[in-house]
Amino acid sequence: MLRFLILISVLACPVVVVAQVFDEEFEHWPIDLRIHGRLLVAGRLEDPTILQRALRRVPRGSTTLLFDDHVPDATIAQYQRLFRDDVPSIPEGSEKTPDYLADKSATQPVLTVIRSGGVTEQIGELLTESDVFVWHASPDATPADRTAQLEQPPAFADYLARGKTLVLIGSVAELSAKYFYAELTANPPEVVGLNLLTDCVLETGYQFDAANQSRLLSILAAHPRSVGIGLNDNTVLTLSGRRLSVTGTGGAMCLLLANERESIRSQTIFESRSRRQSEASTVVDLTQWRREAIDRTLPAFPPAEPAKPLLENGTLVIVGGGRTPPGLMERLVDLAGGPKEARMVYIPCSEDEEVSSKQQTVESWKRMGVAHATFIHTKDRHKANHDEEFLAPLKDATGLWFGGGRQWNFSDSYYGTKAHELMKHVLRRGGVIGGSSAGASIQARYLARATPIENIDIMAPGYERGGLGFIDGVAIDQHFSQRGRQKNMTLLVNRHPQLLGIGIDEATAIVVQKSIAEVIGQGRVYFYDRNLPVYPDRPDYIALPAGSTFDLSERRVLSDASETPIPETTEMP
């Protein structure tokens, strides 16, 4: 009855067409989020077997080893032996024929070794013939030598885009970054590189001391939206997709410049020695670090006084993951106009560039009789911002549903794009937006639990400013009791007391109209309000079961179903 009265009161109000605020800017954020091949870089590498270990998971094919005139013969011989060992051959007395010889259509792997001084004009041709390309230059080359090698930049970016493996060793390693250190007399003290390590400053031969850090920070001061990387000798840095890892005796330090709010951020990673090691100690997500570098140049987020969590029009359906409460999807469709009139669009949360043409959510809508049901998916921010065919379903959508997964994928694909703006227009038209798990958290302007490496931290620098912002002033976490996330939300609201923390159990949801959140489902919803006092012997939240209502804007309980007395039963004779 209470739900019915709330809906009637909302529907009885005249519709005020006020647009969702769209101030998320496309141009700030990375577009090229990952590489499709593998990039390996190293400065001084006295033990080539380190490279062999770093390449152990790389599919093998034809390999080119290119050495400049300053690389000693002994070093070249070492590399030849290592890579020849990787080229399949027929052992003496063996009856087994290698697959590439048994299959006449297969191409036999080839090892090509070249020594050359002025090599840049040859590289384009060599790249077309190689699956693995190793360019080894003397680590003692001067900055002038490096600059000369860039006069005719090779097509390395296209090579990596084809899924190939590029290895740069010695003085050419630093060319892989966007900027690299030259000398203090230069103005500014850096040279522009190939930008394969996108938006990075790379320094090889790095020592973990104040002098080296100061030199790297001097370049970041001129380019504060860059990530600094200091790489030890005898260490190979690998970029695969968007993840940085190292192999060797040393490590790599990632640095971000301080600003008026945040101190210098640094993280050092080393080669993984055990499966029990935390992934966060051995891997860095480069896209997250690039986003954090950008974030540090923007006004503080979340702001000290965020807008109140209030919807001028439309409805939000926010599910804590797991099973969707019975009848909720039907209610979503009704709020979107009913099966005949609703125009439903599903947005899956996937790391893959392509997804199946059949999506379960869309099929379930069709079984419900929804006449207009489709989905959109892209990892291409240009497409999400400019492709009219891609954007078309959003232009007249009355209902959206965001799927589960890792919520940073939504930020990468849509944040600040035209698609994002059109999503907000669904609410402007009085439509409905829903989602579960990742699709719940993404609805807030502040994005909780968006760390690409592992899924432990509720606060993810670089992605906090990544929510799609259908509702302001809140932070939403899901799978709440099932994964014991109460203490996580305590940490978040202690750091950002201006936000209302909302934790939602699985198979539980809130339906939000205006500022009123109605709780439905089998679990509870937890509200964390740091405007209230916190006592050491009491929970720092209010937990409400199904049938309860909470005013998000005023931060107060309207009704608590757990306090409703159970009617007495009369025994029948």
Per-residue pLDDT of 441-481, as tens digits, reads 999 999 999 999 988 899 999 999 999 999 999 999 999 99
Overall average pLDDT of the 193-204 stretch: 94
> What are the distances in angstroms from CA 502 to CA 47, 232, 498, 543?
53, 44, 13, 10
Q: What is the pLDDT of residue 119?
A: 57
Rounded CA-CA distance 7/146 in Å is: 68
Overall average pLDDT of the 256-262 stretch: 95
Q: What is the pLDDT of residue 85?
A: 65
Provide CB contacts within 8 A for 287, sequence distance 6+. 30, 33, 34, 242, 412, 452
Q: Examine the pLDDT at 259 and tell me if it is beyond 80.
A: yes
pLDDT bracket for residue 112 (50, 70, 90): confident
Worst-scoring range by mean pLDDT, 84-98, 241-255, 276-290, 419-433? Answer: 84-98
Q: What is the pLDDT of residue 190?
A: 58
State both tokens at 38: 């593998």
Residue with tokens 């970041």: 220
Q: Which of 5-9, 146-150, 167-171, 292-296 has the highest mean pLDDT?
A: 292-296
Q: Which amino acid is at 571?
A: E
Of 395 and 215, the structure prediction assigns the larger pLDDT to: 395
Rounded CA-CA distance 357/11 in Å is: 36
Each residue's pLDDT tens digit, 210-236? 888 998 998 899 999 999 999 999 999
**361: which DSSP letter?**
H
Q: Examine the pLDDT at 107 and tell me if it is beyond 80.
A: no
Which has the closest alpha carbon to 171: 208, 135, 197? 135
pLDDT bracket for residue 275 (50, 70, 90): confident
Q: What is the pLDDT of residue 102?
A: 43
Start-end of H helices in 229-387: 286-295, 328-335, 338-341, 360-367, 381-386
Q: Examine the pLDDT at 187 and tell me if it is beyond 80.
A: no
Which H or E element spans position 158? helix 156-161
Rounded CA-CA distance 376/386 in Å is: 14
Rounded CA-CA distance 244/200 in Å is: 12
Rounded CA-CA distance 246/277 in Å is: 14
Which has the closest alpha carbon to 403: 432, 429, 439? 439
- In DSSP terms, 136 is beta-bridged to 67, 169
Q: Examine the pLDDT at 89 and tell me if it is beyond 50.
A: no
Quick one: the chain helix, strand, coil %, rounded to 5? Answer: 30, 25, 50
Q: What is the pLDDT of residue 97?
A: 40
pLDDT bracket for residue 188 (50, 70, 90): low
> What are the distances in angstroms from CA 59 to CA 87, 134, 565?
12, 15, 66
Judge whether 420 and 24 are in contact, CB under 8 Å.
yes
Q: What is the pLDDT of residue 195?
A: 93
Q: What is the pLDDT of residue 12?
A: 41
Of 406 and 89, the structure prediction assigns the larger pLDDT to: 406
Q: What is the pLDDT of residue 308?
A: 96
Provide CB contacts within 8 A for 512, sequence distance 6+. 309, 311, 315, 316, 317, 318, 471, 518, 552
Each residue's pLDDT tens digit, 10-36? 444 443 334 478 889 999 999 999 999
Q: What is the pLDDT of residue 184?
A: 44
Q: Examine the pLDDT at 91 and tell me if it is beyond 60.
A: no
Q: Examine the pLDDT at 522 and tell me if it is beyond 70.
A: yes
Q: What is the pLDDT of residue 151?
A: 61
pTM (two decimals) = 0.89
Judge whether 119 and 64 are in contact, CB under 8 Å.
no
Average pLDDT score, the chain = 88
State both tokens at 83: 């890579």
Q: What is the pLDDT of residue 252?
A: 97
> What are the distances in angstroms from CA 388 to CA 10, 247, 368, 399?
34, 44, 29, 19
Q: What is the pLDDT of residue 374?
A: 98
Overall average pLDDT of the 365-369 stretch: 97
Q: Examine the pLDDT at 101 and tell me if it is beyond 50.
A: no
Overall average pLDDT of the 238-246 stretch: 97
Provide CB contacts within 8 A for 294, sequence distance 6+. 28, 29, 30, 225, 462
